[in-house]
Amino acid sequence: MALAEAAARGRLLRWPRVLLLGDSITEYSFQENGWGAYLAERLVRKCDVVNRGLSGYNTRWAKLILPRLITESTSADSIVAVTIFFGANDSALKELNPKQHVPLEEYAANLKSMVQYLKSVDITADRIILITPPPLQELAWEKECLAKGDKLNRCNATTGQYAQACVQVARECGTDVLDLWSLMQKNQDFSSYLSDGLHLSTKGNSFLAAQLWSRLENKLSALPSLLPYWRDVDHTNPEASLL
């Protein structure tokens, strides 16, 4: 009872949150050496990094579920940054992958709709980062497709069109954007950034983490550590330090 009373006297601890919304490249980001895990490590005791990556999803589906993930009544004010990272599935070729394919104009409209929704629950544009799909290494991805009995169902030129649309949406909506498609191709052999032609390798995860952190560091590094360092706790009267 004493502990419950002490807790009641203290203020509820609410960790700020960084929300990662995307497809499999986001879902896998908490794996060893993943870009999401890197962010979580850099922000430990400052922010919760929340993985809402959904393998195989496109913007058509993500737009529908976003209001179920964030509402004003579920502490949208605690969100200090959101990444929106779609396009690898949207850009699948319609004739070969109609289930995941989303037409280019709809893709752009869906991204814009998600940004507008976030703004409607008071997540300001400066807290939103759009990420374009990475480039596609067609030979490697074709091997993956053939192993499943499928034909090559994506191409890099088409993915590039979706990346350009993502950049344009960010420009129109006033958000930051990480143009992964262009940045990775500054290195002529961008295949080293990909594990299977589509998903990120360890090197690709490291590249994305560094690029993303350069955009987040100024916003988040100044956040205070939550709860005092253990040496700073008054061991003779811990309540004075912790409540």
Whole domain around residue 144: which residue ranges?
Answer: 15-221
Q: How confident is the model at residue 230 (pLDDT cuts 50, 70, 90)?
A: confident
Please state the rounded mean pLDDT for residues 73-91: 89
Q: How confident is the model at residue 1 (pLDDT cuts 50, 70, 90)?
A: very low
pLDDT of residue 234: 82
Q: How confident is the model at residue 101 (pLDDT cuts 50, 70, 90)?
A: very high
- Residue 192 in any domain: the answer is yes
Q: By mean pLDDT, which of 38-52, 63-77, 125-139 is the weakest?
A: 63-77
- Residue 240 in any domain: the answer is no
- Residue 1 in any domain: the answer is no
Please say if the pLDDT value at position 2 is more than 70.
no
Enter the tokens of residue 48: 């919760």
Is the separation of the CB atoms in 231 and 225 below 8 Å?
no
- Residue 143 in any domain: the answer is yes
Residue 24 is a catalytic residue: yes
Is the separation of the CB atoms in 239 and 6 below 8 Å?
yes
Catalytic residue among 77, 122, 150, 196: 196
Phi-psi region of 95 (alpha: psi -120 to 50; beta: other; left: phi over 0): alpha
User: Alpha-carbon torsion 20, 153, 207, 27, what sign?
Assistant: positive
- Residue 70 in any domain: the answer is yes
Counted domains in the chain: 1
Please state the rounded mean pLDDT for residues 72-90: 87
Q: Which tens digit of pLDDT belongs to each residue from 130-150?
A: 999 999 999 999 999 999 999
Helices (H), the chain: 2-9, 24-27, 35-42, 59-69, 104-120, 138-147, 156-173, 180-184, 202-220, 238-242
- Residue 227 in any domain: the answer is no
- Residue 111 in any domain: the answer is yes
Residue 199 is a catalytic residue: yes
Q: By mean pLDDT, which of 103-112, 142-151, 164-173 is the weakest?
A: 142-151
pLDDT of residue 132: 98
Please say if the pLDDT value at position 153 is more than 70.
yes
Average pLDDT value for the chain: 91
221 or 60, which is more confident: 60
Please say if the pLDDT value at position 191 is more than 90.
yes
Please say if the pLDDT value at position 6 is more than 70.
no
Residue 232 phi/psi, 5-degree rounding, is: -90, 0
Per mean pLDDT, which of 67-76, 138-147, 200-209 is the most reliable? Answer: 200-209
Q: What is the CATH number of the domain that holds 135?
A: 3.40.50.1110
pLDDT of residue 220: 85
The DSSP result for 26-84, as a single string, is HHGGGSTT-HHHHHHHHTTTT-EEEEEE-TT--HHHHHHHHHHH--GGGTGGGEEEEEE
Is the separation of the CB atoms in 138 and 156 below 8 Å?
yes
pLDDT of residue 19: 96
Enter the tokens of residue 67: 């209001």
String of b and e for 88-103 (b: at least 16 CB within 10 Å)?
Answer: bbbbbeeeebeebbbe
Q: How confident is the model at residue 4 (pLDDT cuts 50, 70, 90)?
A: low
Residue 195 is a catalytic residue: no
- Residue 110 in any domain: the answer is yes
